[in-house]
Structure formats: C-alpha cells, structure tokens
Amino acid sequence: MTGPTAPDGPGGRPGPATPEAADGRRGRPRSAAADTAIVEAVLRLIEEGASIGDLSMEGIARAAGVGKATVYRRWPGKNALLLDVVRSLEDDLPPARGDSVRDDLVAMLEHLRRRGLAKRHSAVFRSVLTHVQAQPAVWREYHENVIRARREAMHAILRRGMARGEIRADREVDVLADLFVGPMLARALLDERTALPEGLAEQIVDTVLEGVRPRP
C-alpha cells in the first residue's frame, strides 16, 4: 500500500488523487459514524478469529460497510489503524485520591483486572500486542501516548508512598511499578484461561507492599 486512495470517480473507478483524499481535515467532513464502524469492524474480525496477517484494508472496509477510500482517508495503512483500535479499548484510569497509597494502588490494579475480564479487550491485545511490538514506530507511538501516561500515574503513587515512609526509597521506581502491575498484566493478557477473581488486586498489593516496606 503506497498511500491514501482517492475517492471513487464516475463508474466506480478510482478518481484522481486530491489533497482532500489524503487529508481528512480538508474537503468532506469526517463522519464519526464511519470512524466507529471501521474500528468496530476490526474488533469484530479479530474476535471471530482473524489474524493480524489476515486483515487487509480492503477486507476491513467491506466488513465496515464503507468504501476503501473512506478507510484510507482516515488511516494511511493497517498499522496506523491498529494503533487506533488498541486506543479505542483504553479508558481513563481512576483518579488517585491521595488519602492512602495502598488504596490508590488497589484502585489502579482493580482497573486492570476489570479491563482484563472483558473478552474483547483480552482477545485484541493478545492478537495485536506481538504485531505492534514488531513495528518499532507503531510501538513507540503507543508507548508515548498510552503506556507512558499510565506508568507516570503509577510512579506518582509510589513516590508519594516513599515520601510518606510507606515504601522503601532505595529501589528504582520502575522496578517497583513492575512488581505491582506485572502479575495482573500477566494474568490478563498472556492466558485467557487464567482467573481474575475479585480480591486479586488487594492480594497483589498487600503481598508486594509487605516486601517493599522500609526496613526498621
């Protein structure tokens, strides 16, 4: 795929390339309904068992009930579309109350647990994650726009715990964040058969906190 496809001309043949075709910000206004239909089509195809390699922009357009040009006006290629598909599954983290480091950590992990319980979220992430990681530019953009914000929120909670003397300050914040988040992500994303029972967030947080409290 070399770039955006121009809108269909007379008789259904591709018309001449125009700036409006390459840039959805000019020309005909973008349709939010079409955006949603395209993203939903990708989610549905993956849920039905399509691999990332099976997906094509043409097939996605057919599944969404739109023309191929409509897809290309929004995304230059499959990787850009997949990035927005993954973003569509992200929701806002619960705001940290700041009253209790433990409670804020539990709230963050409970958010991950509930997200992992959603069949759609887990199926897409297991299918897309390996593909995205193999595309350095796509992975970098996802990391910058999604993962970094979540890590910074976790780091803020941990630093507050260090300042209060609830968490030892002689360990790297990145390592501590992985200790809290890693078990939940492993269960939620690596094996769909692994249980995510209620109380798991509390169990992980209390177990890790026991090991990272300041030494007397």
Provide, rounded to the nearest whole percent, the portion of the chain with pLDDT above 70.
81
91: left (phi over 0), alpha (psi -120 to 50) or beta: beta
Give the residue, 134 or 14, on which the prediction is more confident. Answer: 134
Confidence tier at 32 by pLDDT (50, 70, 90): confident
Looking at the fold, whether 169 and 186 belong to one and the same domain comes out as: yes
Q: Are residues 148 and 64 in the same domain?
A: no
Same domain for 138 and 65, yes or no, is no
Report whether 131 contacts 82 (CB < 8 A). yes
Q: Return the pLDDT at 30.
A: 67
Domain for residue 55, yes or no? Answer: yes
Residue 153 and residue 201 in one domain: yes
Residues 80 and 183 in one domain: no
pLDDT level of residue 15 (50, 70, 90 thresholds): very low
Is 129 part of any domain? yes
54 and 160 share a domain?
no
- 5 within domain boundaries: no
> Under 8 Å CB-to-CB from 70, ≥6 apart: which residues?
34, 38, 61
What is the DSSP secondary-structure string of 11-77? GG-B----HHHH-TTSSSPPPHHHHHHHHHHHHHHHHTT--TTT--HHHHHHHHTS-HHHHHHH-SS
Last residue of one domain, picked from the residues 85, 116, 137? 85
Strand partners, 14: 8
- Poorest-confidence range of 8-17, 97-106, 153-162? 8-17
- Other CB atoms within a 10 A radius of the CB of residue 99 amount to 8
pLDDT value of residue 29 = 55
The pLDDT of residue 134: 80
Q: What pLDDT, in 10s, does the model give residues 107-140?
A: 999 988 888 776 556 667 777 777 777 888 888 8
Q: Indicate whether 119 and 144 sit together in one domain.
A: yes
Whether residue 204 is contained in a domain is answered as yes
Q: What is the pLDDT of residues 134-160, one digit of tens each?
A: 888 888 888 887 788 889 999 999 999
Q: Which of 42, 57, 85 is the last residue of a domain?
A: 85
Which residues lie below 8 Å from residue 73, measured CB to CB, with a gap of 6+? 4, 7, 21, 22, 24, 30
Are 80 and 94 members of one domain?
no
pLDDT band at 62; cut points 50, 70, 90:
very high
Boundary (domain end) residue, out of 33, 50, 85: 85
- Considering the domain architecture, whether residues 56 and 145 belong to the same structural domain is answered as no
Number of domains in the chain: 2
Query: Which of 174 and 93 is assigned the larger pLDDT?
Result: 174
Cβ atoms of residues 115 and 91 within 8 Å: yes
Residue-number span of the structural domain to which 61 is assigned: 15-85
